[in-house]
Every structure is written in structure tokens, then in C-alpha cells.
Structure 1
């Protein structure tokens, strides 16, 4: 059983946020469910993501680095998938924070991009394959 069941995100404009999130989450294989006062996406075995409208009509967008939300990272299978999702996000109106690239400060395999929506919600698409197993010492292959 997953530890996290769902992630609720408050947005300034639910209709606009839905326009921005839907293409991305559909591209990741999530199904959309509309409800009264919220929109959610779910994929079997994953955490449900739910958008809620702000309770205060004049709420300001979230600012990265302030207390609260930092970002949500989606792990994907390849660098090409990071590139594809980054393009889908830009086409849906997200702003590029960081273009797809390697992040050697994390490790030599970490490839990612970062985008932000109109509400200041930041997402990361990342590919971080496992380190290749070390080559065996030829002495370990001796017979007898």
C-alpha cells in the first residue's frame, strides 16, 4: 500500500489550472475525474492529484522558496520522455524554469526540467537511471 494516497493543490483559477495540468497528466497516463469544486487525476498504483480552487478570491500565486510547496517531481523512463513532457507543458501554458539538462550536482545520470504554472506551482520531470553495476573482477571468474 502506498504511503501517500493523494496530493491536493490549491490553485488561483481552477479552470485555467485544469487546462494546464490536464495535458501533462494525460501524457503521463493519468485519467481525469471532474467533481463539484475540484478536478483530479488518477493512475492505477499512483498517488491521486487533486486541484482545488483557492478559498480567498484575491489569493496571490505561490512563490517558489516561500514556506510551503517546493515542487513535485515526476520520474520518467528516459531523457526523451523528460523532453517530451517539457514540450507538452510549454504547449499547455506552463513557463520553463529550467530547460531539460543534466544535473551533475545531483549525480552524473540525473536529467531533468522544471516548469511552473500560473499559480506558481512548480513541477519537475526527471530521469535518474540506476548506476550500472560494477564490472566483476576477472579473478572472481576463476574456476575451481
Structure 2
């Protein structure tokens, strides 16, 4: 089980509009931005996803083969989060749809954040 996730950002403050848009499309919100860290979670709940500079002080960079997948509540949330990601400067890595193409239980979309981290938003159908 995952307790929380941290996503490294080259510029946390510049990344906030992207993450505000993506998580907002999923009914989540930023609960704080303090000390160079931003926390996101379900409305009224503790943060479970943090956007931050790397602890080692080196530049943030995406990991090869690493992807974080966020569970959405519906196909509509997946569609909205993908559209929000692209509108907020993200790069498309796979339009919303079933994976594999004939799946009746997984609906996902893929994109990269401004730092280049690969993210997925999916719904169980």
C-alpha cells in the first residue's frame, strides 16, 4: 500500500498551475504550499501527494521507467484530468481510453508534467 507520493519538480511554484488543474479535475485540492513543498489530497483530507524539490539538492528529473498512477472516480474525471494536464502545459503520452483496447475494467490516460515525470490517471470500470 502506498502511504504518500512525492514528485520532484524543477520549479515547484511554476508547477502548481499544472497540478492544481490536474488534481482539481479529479476533485482533489492543494492543501498547502510552504517551504517549497505543495501538498494535494482529497478535499478536507490530509495531503497524500507532495510536489517538492529533490532532497539531495540536485536538479529534479524524471526516472526512466517510473510512472505514478492516480485513481480517478470515473471516466469523466480521467478525461477532464488529461485535458487539464495538456491545457496546463503537460505533454500527451496516451489519450484517454481503455487499456488494452478491449478492456472493460481499466480506462486511463497518460501525460508528463512540466518536469517530465510520467503520470497516469485511471478509473476502474
TM-score by structure 2 length?
0.80
Instruction: Give the match for residue 102 of structure 1.
Output: 98
State the aligned residue count. 121
- Larger CA Rg, structure 1 vs 2: 1
Change (3 A) 1:87 1:47: same
Alignment of 1:66-81 (within 5 A): 70-81=66-77
The answer on whether the counterparts of 2:91 and 2:111 sit within 8 Å (CA) in structure 1 is: yes
The answer on whether the counterparts of 1:100 and 1:113 sit within 8 Å (CA) in structure 2 is: yes
Give a deviation string over 1:99-123, Cα, whole Å, max 9, x none: 1122127943322110101212111
Which structure has more RCO (C-alpha within 8 Å, separation ≥ 6)? 2
Consecutive unaligned residues of structure 2, counting only runs of 5 or more, are none
Instruction: Give the match for residue 91 of structure 1.
Output: 87
TM-score by structure 1 length?
0.71
Q: What displacement does 1:63 show?
A: 4.3
Alignment of 1:23-38 (within 5 A): 23-32=21-30, 33-38=32-37
The answer on whether the counterparts of 1:4 and 1:47 sit within 8 Å (CA) in structure 2 is: no
Q: What displacement does 1:53 show?
A: 1.7
Instruction: Give the match for residue 40 of structure 1.
Output: 39
Consecutive unaligned residues of structure 1, counting only runs of 5 or more, are 130-144
Q: Distance in 2 between matches of 1:108 and 1:82?
A: 15
Alignment of 1:1-144 (within 5 A): 3-32=1-30, 33-43=32-42, 44=44, 48-54=48-54, 55-56=57-58, 59=59, 61-65=61-65, 70-104=66-100, 107-129=103-125
Matched residue SS, 1:100:
strand
The answer on whether the counterparts of 1:12 and 1:119 sit within 8 Å (CA) in structure 2 is: yes
Runs of 4+ in 1 over 6 A off after TM superposition: none
RMSD, aligned α-carbons: 2.3
